[in-house]
């Protein structure tokens, strides 16, 4: 725990230093909410701007509360970019107020409603984890690139060139996952995680997914949820369940214990990256690297 807070303090101090450095260099400052979003925007703008992620790697955006420092960063930024679809939870009202005075981009704004996954009729019941369908993430980044060009028309040629390269890489990743998913489909295995973050992944790549918690990590699983999931795992002879990087493994460990009590020992694999990338300069420190890391972990754990 001490190590975690030490790393967090270092990240926050580094972000503050980068902000001051950007002001000195005359670069526009773009503040994004998550590390996933920051990586995507960096691929679009290149060296034209300083891109700063508000939430450090490893932080759960569902539970994140903006600090005084965060509010200062948002107020001082030249452009603020966020996911939307209530991913940022407690920060939604802040963005609504900032919209009157700041340049703001909600990257999920133009994702067609029929492509969104919902757990109910309420606005906040939309699943915000669209980046687990690479084609939807590409759509979100396409909208972001168009809006950035509106904001900075002089960047048009650079943004279009960077976007073309990045979108080719996303297309390649999308096809890689499709090809590998066919093997998992044939195995009758399912992807079971701590919370329901992989619905878009399952829909896009025809993989059955189940989460112990709901769309948000704010929800708590009940005994019925746990018992039902254990029975599903036993009936389907599932080999592994997966912890997540930003969530306590306590609940998913209860599933493992329940399976063992039912005479079906399983592996606790992972952790998978869900709402955040890994740290900078690591294999999972980019969106594409994170996705490939997850795929490797999933297939290594579930396939023979």
CATH number of the domain residue 74 falls in: 3.40.50.1980
The pTM of this model reads 0.87
Same domain, yes or no: 117 and 202: no
- Please check whether residues 128 and 249 belong to one and the same domain: no
pLDDT at position 124:
66
Q: Are residues 27 and 43 in the same domain?
A: yes
From 170, 198, 229, give the residue that closes a domain.
170
Q: What pLDDT is stored for residue 3 in this prediction?
A: 38
Helix, strand, or coil here: 276? Answer: coil
Please tell me the predicted confidence (pLDDT) of residue 40. Answer: 98
Same domain, 61 and 185: no
- Where does a domain end: 150, 170, 190? 170
pLDDT digits (tens, 9 = 90+) for 83-126: 999 999 889 889 989 988 899 999 999 999 999 999 776 766 89
CA separation for the pair 199, 269 (Å, rounded): 19
Confidence of residue 34 (pLDDT cuts 50, 70, 90): very high
Q: Could you tell me if 154 and 10 lie in one domain?
A: yes
What per-residue confidence (pLDDT) applies to 101?
Answer: 86
Count the domains in the chain. 2
Q: How many CA atoms lie within 13 A of 88 on its CB side?
A: 24
Burial (CB count <10 Å: 0-12, 13-18, 19+), residue 100: exposed
pLDDT at 191 (0 to 100): 96
186 vs 142, higher pLDDT: 142
pLDDT in tens, 239-276: 999 999 988 889 899 999 999 999 999 999 999 999 99
Q: Residues 42-59: what's their mean pLDDT?
A: 95
Q: Indicate if 123 and 181 belong to the same structural domain.
A: no
- Which range is least confidently modeled, 73-82, 117-126, 177-186, 206-215? 117-126
**Which of these three, 138, 170, 202, is where a domain ends?**
170
Give residue 10's pLDDT band: very low, low, confident or very high (50, 70, 90). Answer: very low
> Which range of residues forms the domain containing residue 204?
176-302
3-class DSSP state for residue 225? helix
Is residue 137 scored above 60 in pLDDT? yes
- Do residues 77 and 30 lie in contact, with contact meaning Cβ atoms separated by under 8 Å? yes
218 pLDDT above the threshold of 70: no
Task: Find where tokens 């168009």 sit.
Answer: 146
Structure tokens at 39: 């990586």
Residue 221's pLDDT band, with cuts at 50, 70 and 90, is low
Mean pLDDT of the chain: 88
Claim to verify: residue 113 and residue 216 sit in the same structural domain: no
| Confidence bin at 211 (pLDDT 50/70/90) | confident
What is the C-alpha to C-alpha distance for residues 148 and 151, in angstroms, rounded to an integer? 5
**Would you say 198 and 129 are in contact if contact means Cβ atoms under 8 Å apart?**
yes
pLDDT at 214: 59
Same domain? For 136 and 62 the reply is yes
Asked if 64 and 91 touch (Cβ cutoff 8 Å), the reply is yes
Instruction: Judge whether residue 26 has pLDDT over 90.
Output: no
Domain match, 158 and 21 both? yes
**Residue 80: in which H helix or E strand, if any?**
strand 79-82
* 23 and 165 housed in the same domain: yes
Contact 102, 80 (CB under 8 A): yes
Same domain, 11 and 154: yes
pLDDT of residue 48 exceeding 70 = yes
Question: So what's the pLDDT on residue 205?
Answer: 96
Q: What is the mean pLDDT of residues 27-43?
A: 98
**Are 163 and 183 members of one domain?**
no
* Residue 4 pLDDT > 60: no
C-alpha span between 175 and 137 (Å, rounded)? 14
How many Cα atoms occupy the beta-carbon half-sphere of 80 within 13 Å?
25
């Amino acid at each position: 725990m001490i190590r975690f807070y030490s790393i967090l303090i270092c990240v926050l101090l580094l972000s503050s230093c980068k902000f001051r450095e950007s002001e000195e260099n005359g670069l526009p400052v773009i503040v994004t909410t998550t590390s996933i979003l920051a990586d995507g925007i960096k691929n679009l703008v290149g060296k034209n701007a300083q891109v700063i992620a508000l939430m450090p790697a490893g932080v759960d955006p569902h539970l994140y509360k903006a600090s005084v420092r965060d509010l200062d960063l948002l107020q001082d930024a030249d452009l603020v970019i966020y996911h939307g679809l209530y991913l940022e939870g407690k920060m939604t009202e802040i963005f609504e107020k900032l919209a009157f005075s700041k340049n703001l981009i909600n990257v999920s704004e133009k994702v067609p409603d029929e492509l969104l996954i919902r757990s109910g009729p309420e606005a906040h019941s939309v699943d915000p984890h669209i980046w687990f369908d690479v084609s939807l993430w590409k759509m979100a980044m396409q909208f972001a690139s168009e809006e950035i060009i509106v904001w900075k028309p002089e960047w048009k040629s650079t943004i279009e060139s960077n976007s073309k390269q990045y979108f080719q890489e996303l297309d390649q990743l999308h096809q890689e996952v499709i090809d590998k998913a066919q093997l998992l489909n044939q195995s009758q295995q399912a992807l079971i995680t701590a919370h329901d973050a992989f619905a878009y992944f399952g829909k896009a790549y025809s993989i059955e997914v189940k989460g112990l918690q709901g769309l948000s990590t704010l929800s708590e699983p009940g005994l019925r949820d746990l018992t039902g999931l254990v029975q599903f795992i036993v009936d389907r002879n599932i080999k592994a369940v997966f912890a997540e990087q930003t969530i306590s493994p306590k609940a998913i460990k209860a599933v493992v214990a329940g399976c063992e009590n039912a005479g079906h020992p399983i592996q606790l694999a992972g952790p998978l990256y869900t709402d955040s990338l890994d740290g900078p300069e690591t294999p999972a420190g980019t969106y594409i690297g994170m996705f490939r890391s997850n795929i490797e972990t999933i297939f290594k754990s579930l396939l023979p």
